[in-house]
Amino acid sequence: MTLALLEVRDLRKYYTSPHSWFSPPRPPIQAVDGVSFSVARGETLSLVGESGCGKTTTAKSVLRLVEPTSGSVKLEGEELLTLDSEQMRLRRHQMQIIFQDPYASLNPRMTAGDIVAEPLRNFGEASGAQRTERVQWLFSKVGLRPEAASKYPHEFSGGQRQRLGIARALALQPKLIVCDEPVSALDVSVQAQVVNLLMDLQIEFGMAYLFVAHDLAVVRHISHRVAVMYLGHIVEVADRDTLFSKPLHPYTEILLAAVPVPNPRVRPKRVLLQGDPPSPADPPPGCRFHTRCPLAQTACREQTPTLTQRAANNQGGHWVACHFR
């Protein structure tokens, strides 16, 4: 059996609210509560779900940009959550991130060339003319002109700034890149260019992506497998084609029904999701989706469904957490 590049088991991240003598302690916010998944080498696993479901917190917890409350995160079989700061720093050579905001994630006082060269300096990968040559090579790989290295971030468009972020993440040739909604702040035409660039780079360098997104059209284009999150839990995992053609969890069905169909002659079936998501500080008992689910029954309110494999295939199978699917 091939060892997964990234293996996450029972990951939890709780946020506690400060309190004083004059106010009682509040229950912790269960942003991520028992999430498990794996990512194979060269694979793209997408995390999808509505805002606030815990996608970004999960991704940042994997990289320990936020410290998880508990769980296990293994990269190439090595447990990351037990590493000290220096050991973790060395491991970051293999783990990089592309942030959502292509402007706020770039230092406005550094030139584009210095931004891309920063990982190389931090890890002593190259120096002098060799580093300059490496930066120019990275610029060409992401579709930027090498002479633009002397410019500052404000002189680039949004799409070009995100290409800088991709070049910076690519500089150390990592094995895993976390993409935290990397195209959500871009125009639609630019989104397609950036997504195609990420796919081309993955084919060339064999990196794995943990891709966080809420745009299901982008997810369908770039993913190998998709994990659907709701209120801190993963409720369904399947390969891309299976999830989009035969979703099992009611929440997944509702998400897919909300995707616009680019054909004026087709009238898609709309399924309205009633109510607002419960608070992660006070999640409902049993299935967390039962307060909004059209299939909810007594068992849903009393028992938490486990993520169970419903069908097997060569891409990890089809897993769903639902009592009746």
| Sheet containing strand 29-39, strands side by side | 29-39, 6-15, 70-75, 78-79
At 3 the pLDDT is 74
Q: Could you give the CA distance from residue 279 to residue 283 in angstroms, rounded to a whole number?
A: 6
Low-confidence ranges of the chain (pLDDT < 70): 1-2, 20, 268, 314
Give residue 195's region: left, alpha or beta (phi > 0; psi -120 to 50).
alpha
Task: Kindly list the distances between the CA atom of residue 41 and the CA atoms of 7, 133, 153, 163, in Å, as whole numbers in the listed order.
Answer: 11, 28, 32, 23
At 223 the pLDDT is 96
pTM for this entry? 0.92
At 41 the pLDDT is 95
Q: Could you give the CA distance from residue 206 to residue 199 in angstroms, rounded to a whole number?
A: 10
Q: Are 103 and 34 in contact (CB under 8 A)?
A: no
At 314 the pLDDT is 63
Q: Could you give the CA distance from residue 11 to residue 77 in angstroms, rounded to a whole number?
A: 16
Q: How many CA atoms lie within 13 A of 252 on its CB side?
A: 27
In tens, the pLDDT along 34-44 reads: 999 999 999 99
Q: How many CA atoms lie within 13 A of 323 on its CB side?
A: 17
